[in-house]
Amino acid sequence: MAWDDGNNKDPWKSRGNQGPADLDAIVKDLQRKLSAFFGGGKRGGDGDGQGPGLGPKIGMGFASFVAIVAIGAWSATGFYIVDEAERAIVLRFGKFVDITQPGLRWHLPWPIESRVAINTEETVTWDYQGSMLTRDENIVDINLIVQYRRTDPERFLFSVRDPEATLQDVTGSAIREIVGKNDLNYILTEGRLDISSTALTLLQSTLDTYETGITVYEVNMQEAQFPEEVQASVQDVVKAREDQARVILEAETYRNQLLPNARGQAVRQTQAAEAYQAQVIADAEGQSSRFTQILSEYQMAPQVTRQRIFLETLEAIMTSSTKVIVDTEGGNNLLYLPLDQLMQQRNLLRDSSQTNPSSSNNTSAPQPSITDSAASRSVRR
């Protein structure tokens, strides 16, 4: 059909300068189309194509359908899944209702009820750093590693406004209290493990008092040192302390070596003195017993005993002497016998004879010398 058939039915020309269509007309047209879609037709009634009372019924049915769909969709938003490591806190108009376990769960949809999921098995690591004053008025920089879990979801959400900020504040307070009760040397050396365990106990006690729902599992002191401005001086002090420990260890080692030797020497000297004491006593007792026996013999035969004592004494002297002087009879000359030299010459002759056995066989036996006869005469006298 042409736009202009003589009846002025051109849609663009029919509007002329009237502007956009009326909004009420557009709404009515939309209602008519919806009524026709849900079964509305020209079944008597007025000329708009709707039967008497049919339009309101269709409108109510459509509204009910839309309401049911909306309620179903709204109810479906109440389903949720709780992970294995989580616990869900259900809130009804902001008030705590229940803690749900892992799995598929449902609660009244928002805005009636809502939920907050808390991971109770996640280990959170937090780093604390700070400068603090020791008991001996030295400044030390401390670096702590704190590991904790949110073990009580209800307390974690409702007891304290910001539990993790509270944990940071409590950690700083606890470590400052412990450091302030100890000297710097103890903190830098053997006190690290003790400080960490004490900080863990104090920190957990304070968190339990505040009912934060947080459990601290480990506190490690990673580093404890002087501020950077005094690091050079600190290194000198540390080196001197190490030298002191080394010298002390060397002194203890020397002492451990010296004392056993000294004790052993003392025991040996004591035993030698005791043995010498026993020997002297035994000799004295033996001489005393011999003197008593000689005395009894002397009382029975004085002349014989005196002569025997003289001969025994002379024998003892001659045994230890290497020179003998003999007074000859009927003359004024003295005979000198160097026994040590005579024995040395005799040993030389024996060695040479053993070295050259042929020469010793051709020589005749040595004749007794004057020294041997003189010695025999001195013995007979």
Give yes or no: residues 244 and 273 share one domain: yes
Q: How many CA atoms lie within 13 A of 221 on its CB side?
A: 27
- CB neighbours of residue 118 within 10 Å: 19
Give yes or no: residues 133 and 177 share one domain: yes
pLDDT of residue 60: 66
Q: How far is CA 378 from the centre of its chain?
A: 92
Q: Which residues of the chain have pLDDT under 70?
A: 1-61, 321-340, 342, 354-381
Residue 238 resides in a domain:
yes
The DSSP bridge partners found for residue 44 are: none
Give yes or no: residues 137 and 215 share one domain: yes
pLDDT of residue 247: 93
Give yes or no: residues 198 and 128 share one domain: yes
Residue 8 resides in a domain:
no
Give yes or no: residues 245 and 290 share one domain: yes
Q: Quick check: 78 and 108 in contact, CB under 8 A?
A: yes
pTM to 2 decimal places: 0.45
Give yes or no: residues 164 and 103 share one domain: no
pLDDT of residue 304: 86
pLDDT of residue 270: 92
Residue 55 resides in a domain:
no
Give yes or no: residues 137 and 216 share one domain: yes
Residue 362 resides in a domain:
no
Give yes or no: residues 90 and 172 share one domain: no
| Domain boundaries, position 144 | 124-225
Give yes or no: residues 152 and 219 share one domain: yes
Q: Quick check: 130 and 172 in contact, CB under 8 A?
A: yes
Q: Of the candidates 254, 272, 304, which is a domain's last residue?
A: 304
How far CA 112 is from CA of 59, 71, 94, 226, in Å, comes to 30, 14, 9, 57
Count the domains in the chain: 3
What's the CA gap between 29 and 372, in Å, rounded? 175
What φ, ψ does residue 22 adopt, rounded to 5°? -70, 140
Give yes or no: residues 128 and 182 share one domain: yes
The answer for residues whose C-beta is within 8 angstroms of residue 149's C-beta and 6 or more apart is: 120, 121, 122, 123, 124, 214, 215, 217
pLDDT of residue 275: 92
What's the CA gap between 155 and 150, in Å, rounded? 9
The type of residue at 94 is G
Q: Of the candidates 268, 283, 304, which is a domain's last residue?
A: 304
Give yes or no: residues 159 and 113 share one domain: no
Q: Of the candidates 250, 279, 304, which is a domain's last residue?
A: 304
Instruction: Write out pLDDT tens, residues 310-325.
Output: 888 878 777 776 666 6
Residue 49 resides in a domain:
no
Residue 241 resides in a domain:
yes
Q: Quick check: 14 and 8 in contact, CB under 8 A?
A: yes
Angle between helices 163-179 and 192-210 (to 10 degrees): 140
Residue 270 resides in a domain:
yes
Domain CATH number, residue 132: 3.30.479.30
Give yes or no: residues 207 and 295 share one domain: no
